[in-house]
Chain A
């Protein structure tokens, strides 16, 4: 059952923090490349896990989609759904499996609406999960995607006639 933290109720702050951290991390790519991604992963992973576990109750799936999902880890859903809530959400917004837990996607949607930078990404279609990425560093995997070591599918944009909700 997810625990999360009070910081998650400031998704606007978290998405800015993410954007900043991403900039710094990608800027340091020459350093990570020089060390080799495998070595860099060993250096980064403990800190990444600690931070993400405390803030997001991270499940270490290695394919982080937090900014697509309202800075709420979808792997805390008992069905690990990455494309939105199942049909079992209770009328009070709680999970059908854990009565005391708010549905991950109720939180995710509410938070995404307070995220001007990435909020709209909650509409994107997440591709089938690659379970081999489990326990890898999602940050380093971002670089492995960039240099072509990994070729995992990217989320797909939703095409809608009416986009005004997000504009």
Chain B
């Protein structure tokens, strides 16, 4: 890996070790509750333990106010699960981001995903003022300098600088398509060591994107983890295809979901739901297997939205269990 000083670990996290060792890494996702109900965390975490190498903790996902990602990350550390702290630039300025991340490191978080964040208008506080003091690329640059030079954004030396294993998101499925690989290049140059992509359903477009990223010389410098989300129902597939900006769900995927219940009478709602879930898991596991064949894909990020129990089934089906130890 260029730029990583040979075998020099940055954060020494399990995720970093796993990727460096060349294992096909697996991350999951945990969405914190929309209040203080702590039990939810333990319940969701239980589904992911031993199944994934690290767990992303979302930061006010879809711009809905939730328990903070750092507090949940600290709870996961206590439970023996490794968190990937997600942080957006939507809700915090450079002072708050740094302050919170100093604390996150002190509480044991070692992986950080630097994001822009969904716009406020998508969530439950559309009247809120967006911060956007910086963008995700500048955020990465700030954290890289922190790790490498021991300085904050001001340039002042820190009393202990966090050296997070830095990650970023990438979306190959949104226009302008030709520009997307360059945006990835910017993120890599700004300090991203791993990438978690938007959910992949359009596999041919993803392959083109990876090909271009390879041509630009990026894949030697960054670990790309393919994002996947199991579909729960035809309704969800249709909704994602038509109403979620930045997602590309081809018709054949929606058709496959629909075909899963074509023989089951409409009245038998239970059987229909079960058949759709099974099909969603099957498609997801298949996608993961296809991802393993694509040069430069180093792992998979399974985002089972409000469906954490599906992750172990998917991982098992895709042949990713048991997880290696490093």
A54 smallest CB distance to B (angstroms): 26
Residue B323, interface by CB 8 Å? no
Min Cβ gap B226→A in Å is 15
B190 at the A interface (CB under 8 A): yes
Q: Is B44 positioned at the interface, with any CB of A under 8 Å from its CB?
A: no
Could you tell me if B175 and A162 are in contact, using CB atoms closer than 8 angstroms? Answer: no
Cβ–Cβ contact A79 & B190, under 8 A: no
Q: Render A129-167 as a binary contact track against B, CB cut-off 8 A, 1 for contact.
A: 101000000000000000000000000101111100000
The interface-forming segment of A14-22, A23-31, A55-63, A105-113 is A105-113
Residues of A within 8 A of B179 (CB): 84-85, 105, 109, 122
Interface presence of A52 (CB below 8 A): no
B61 in the interface, Cβ–Cβ < 8 Å? no
* Contact call B198/A125, Cβ cutoff below 8 A: no
Q: Is the CB of A88 within 8 A of B119?
A: yes
Residue from the list B116, B119, B175, B215 in contact with A106, Cβ < 8 A: B175
* A81 interfacial contact with B, CB 8 Å: yes
Q: Tell whether A33 is near chain B: CB-to-CB under 8 Å.
A: no
A164 to chain B, nearest CB (A): 9
Q: Is the CB of A125 within 8 A of B248?
A: no
Q: How far is the CA of A86 from the CA of B187 in the complex (A)?
A: 12
Contact (A106, B137) CB under 8 Å given A88-B245, A128-B153, A160-B217: no
Question: Please, which residues of chain A bring their CB within 8 A of the CB of B135?
Answer: 79-83
**A87-B217 in contact (CB<8A):** no
Residue of B nearest to A102 (CB): B175
Q: Of residues A91, A93, A103, which shows the largest number of chain B Cβ atoms within 10 Å of its Cβ?
A: A91
Within 8 A of B (CB), among A66-91: 78-91
CA distance A162 to B132 in the complex (A): 31
Q: Chain B: which residue is nearest A129 at the CB level?
A: B134
Q: Pick the contact of B216 from A78, A91, A109, A162 — CB < 8 Å? A: A162
Chain A 90-104 interface 0/1 with B at a Cβ cutoff of 8 Å (1 = within): 111100110000010
Q: Which residue of B lies closest to A79 (CB)?
A: B132
The DSSP consensus for interface residues of chain B is loop
With an 8 A cutoff between CB atoms, is A115 at the interface?
no
A87-B138 in contact given A158-B185, A160-B185 (Cβ < 8 Å): no
- Interface residue B176 (Cβ < 8 Å from any Cβ of A): yes
Give the size category of B's interface with A.
35 or more
Most buried by A among B90, B121, B176: B176
Is residue B295 contacting chain A, with contact meaning CB distance below 8 A? no
Does B167 make an interface contact (CB < 8 A)?
A: no
Closest to A98 in B: B121
**Nearest B-chain residue to A93, judged by Cβ:** B175
B27 at the interface (CB under 8 A from A): no
- A103 vs B170: C-alpha distance in the bound complex, in angstroms? 17
**Is residue B28 within 8 Å, beta carbon to beta carbon, of the partner chain?**
no
Q: A128 and B174: CB pair below 8 A? A: no
Q: Across the interface, do B186 and A158 meet the contact criterion of CB distance under 8 Å?
A: yes
The answer to the question of A116 belonging to the interface, with a C-beta cut-off of 8 Å to chain B, is no
The 9 A-B residue pairs with the shortest CB-CB distance, nearest first, are: A161-B217, A87-B171, A96-B245, A89-B174, A84-B183, A88-B246, A109-B176, A83-B137, A128-B138
Mind listing 18 A-B residue pairs with CB under 8 Å? A78-B119, A81-B116, A83-B135, A85-B175, A87-B174, A87-B198, A88-B118, A89-B175, A90-B245, A91-B174, A93-B175, A96-B246, A105-B179, A106-B176, A109-B179, A122-B182, A128-B141, A158-B185
Besides the known contacts A84-B186, A106-B175, A156-B189, 12 further A-B residue pairs in the complex with CB atoms under 8 A apart: A79-B116, A79-B130, A84-B183, A85-B175, A85-B176, A88-B119, A88-B245, A91-B174, A96-B119, A109-B176, A128-B142, A128-B153
Interface residues of A (CB under 8 A from B): 78-93, 96-97, 103, 105-106, 109-110, 122-123, 125-129, 131, 156, 158-162
